[in-house]
Amino acid sequence: MPEISPTLPKAFLIDLDGTLYFKGEPCPGAIETVNYLRQEKYQLRFLTNTTAKTPKMLHKQMLTLGFDIYEDEIFNATYACLQYLRSQPKNRCHFMVDEAVKTFFKEVPMDNDAPDFVVVGDYGERFDFHTLNHAFRLLMDGAELIALQKGLYWFSSEGMFLDCGAFVTLLEAATGKTAKVMGKPSETFFTIALESLQLSLSEVVVVGDDITSDIVGAERMKMQSILVKTGKFKPDQLKNPVAKPTWVLDCVSELRQLF
Ligand SMILES: [Mg+2]
């Protein structure tokens, strides 16, 4: 394991699914680790690509699981997308997102016939030929594609499920367009969370189970990172890694021995 950098961290950007909880249960020692970091006065932000829920719903879920965290510490791709749409001069949108998440975007004008953007998030079983073909036509007519995140699959207690990134990739292939991605590993997403911390990049460590979103994002931002071997982690990802984590831990609770 590498030495701890000369600049000791002051904050952690911690992933939720696969890092703090997995298949609906807290990861071993994860609740105690969050409590420990708080007690040691580290600042905490929780960054998740989960797009089926608003930050308020995610907060409630984390409290129910037993985590002591605050709503304003949670940043998800849905929130990053709203910030982005607010900054756009024209932002009429066709949304392919969960109904509860759609209400989160209520200030954004909706247009299902000639939008400026097609916004794709967690749409579950409503991803079918008709909804995808409609989105395809809107994109061919000039709309831009926004992906809340590009994860290809996720795990629940019932098994594996296709994630919205699989459908975004399909639309990209058919239209030749490239989606603007709102969640990790996009720099925009990390920047929004970092702005709330007022720290230099060397003082912040990213923690997550997904090498393609958490660790790639940290590397792009030149931040240190910890890959945990829970959730989505697979050992062969470390053979020719797409990004190199600073530390690799068996689970998030080992963080207490590092810092
Ligand atoms: Mg994760």
Distance 143 CA to ligand 1 centre (A): 30
The pTM assigned to this predicted structure is 0.85
Instruction: Check residue 52 and give its pLDDT.
Output: 80
- Where do runs of H (alpha helix) occur along 141-252? 164-175, 187-195, 216-221
Residue 163: helix, strand or coil by DSSP? coil
The CA angle 71-29-61, to the nearest 5 degrees, is 30
Ranges of residues in the chain with a pLDDT under 50 are none
Instruction: Check residue 6 and give its pLDDT.
Output: 55
Distance 113 CA to ligand 1 centre (A): 35
Instruction: Check residue 7 and give its pLDDT.
Output: 66
pLDDT in tens, 64-86: 999 999 999 999 999 889 989 99
Distance 213 CA to ligand 1 centre (A): 8
Q: What is the DSSP letter of 180?
A: E
Residue 67: helix, strand or coil by DSSP? coil
Distance 209 CA to ligand 1 centre (A): 5
Distance CA 221, CA 218 (A): 5
Q: Where are the domains of the chain?
A: 11-49+184-258, 89-181
Distance 107 CA to ligand 1 centre (A): 29
Q: Half-sphere exposure of 217 toward its Cβ, with a 13 Å CA cutoff?
A: 34
Can you identify the CATH homologous superfamily of domain 89-181?
HAD superfamily/HAD-like (3.40.50.1000)
Instruction: Check residue 154 and give its pLDDT.
Output: 87
Count of beta carbons in the 10 Å neighbourhood of residue 137: 13
Distances, alpha carbon 41 to alpha carbons 34, 36, 66, in Å: 11, 9, 20
Distance CA 203, CA 188 (A): 19
Instruction: Check residue 223 and give its pLDDT.
Output: 96
Distance 167 CA to ligand 1 centre (A): 19
Instruction: Check residue 5 and give its pLDDT.
Output: 53
Classify domain 11-49+184-258 by CATH architecture: 3-Layer(aba) Sandwich (3.40)
Distance CA 143, CA 157 (A): 36
- Where do runs of H (alpha helix) occur along the chain? 30-39, 55-65, 77-86, 99-104, 129-140, 164-175, 187-195, 216-221, 255-258
